């Protein structure tokens, strides 16, 4: 298995659903921007709507941080629209829902579950240079927490603009950071 951190995000062109409209989204649309890819197994399931609703509650904050948010499943854009129309939780979503029925994105990010044709729960943050800075993959029975995701995005953006500083465990915006040096060795 090759490391994905600091690898380039894959090239892609897929259909999407957002704000009652269908559109095409490609890797060109994320160039020069922070982008969050939030993979989940399938529409009309159980854990997925709870996660997508949780992420929808953080969308404006992430947008304010300059982050484009994309949820991704192997459903078509037509199924995304049908789910949006049928579910009160999914109606809250304002971010783009990417359709990946061929698995091109899921395979590109290494989360495609070949035996089921769905994606694992994978979360990836891509920086403006197109490099993956956060990568988390978990079993489909375990839901994620958007609060923790926002904290990690804040940390990634902080270290991107503060050369030589790192964020310790549980770091929050405005908190103390560390500047690794020989003076810190053995003192933490």
Active site residue 167: no
How far apart are the two ends of the chain, measured CA to CA in Å?
Answer: 32
Ordered structural domains, the chain, with CATH: 13-144 (3.40.30.10)
Share of the chain above pLDDT 90, in %: 94
pLDDT band at 110 (very low <50, low <70, confident <90, very high): very high
Which among 143, 151, 118 has a CA at the least distance from the CA of 50? 143
Structure tokens at 30: 């994320």
Using the predicted structure, report yes or no on whether residue 166 has a pLDDT greater than 80. yes
pLDDT of the residue at 121? 98
Q: What is the pLDDT of residues 60-102, one digit of tens each?
A: 999 999 999 999 999 999 999 999 999 999 999 999 999 999 9
Q: Which of 25, 36, 48, 135 is catalytic?
A: 48
Query: In this predicted structure, what is the pLDDT of residue 37?
Result: 98
Quote the tokens at residue 2: 């090759």
At 182 the pLDDT is 84
| pLDDT at site 188 | 80
Kindly tell me if the per-residue pLDDT of 20 is higher than 90.
yes
């Amino acid at each position: 298995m090759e490391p994905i951190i600091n690898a380039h995000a894959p090239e892609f062109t897929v259909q999407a659903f957002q704000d009652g409209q269908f559109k095409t989204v490609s890797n060109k649309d994320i160039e020069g921007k922070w982008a969050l890819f939030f993979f989940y197994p399938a529409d009309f399931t159980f854990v997925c709507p709870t996660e997508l609703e949780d992420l929808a509650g953080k969308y404006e904050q992430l947008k304010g941080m300059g982050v484009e948010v994309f949820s991704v499943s192997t459903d078509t854009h037509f199924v995304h629209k049908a789910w949006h129309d049928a579910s009160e939780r999914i109606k809250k979503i304002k971010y783009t829902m990417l359709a990946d029925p061929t698995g091109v994105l899921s395979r590109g990010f290494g989360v495609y579950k070949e035996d089921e044709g769905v994606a694992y729960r994978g979360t990836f943050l891509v920086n403006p240079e197109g490099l993956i800075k956060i990568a988390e993959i978990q079993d489909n029975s375990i839901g994620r927490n958007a609060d923790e995701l926002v904290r990690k995005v804040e940390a990634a953006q902080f270290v991107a603009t503060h050369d030589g500083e790192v964020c310790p465990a549980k770091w929050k915006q405005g908190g103390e950071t560390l500047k690794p040096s020989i003076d810190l060795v053995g003192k933490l």
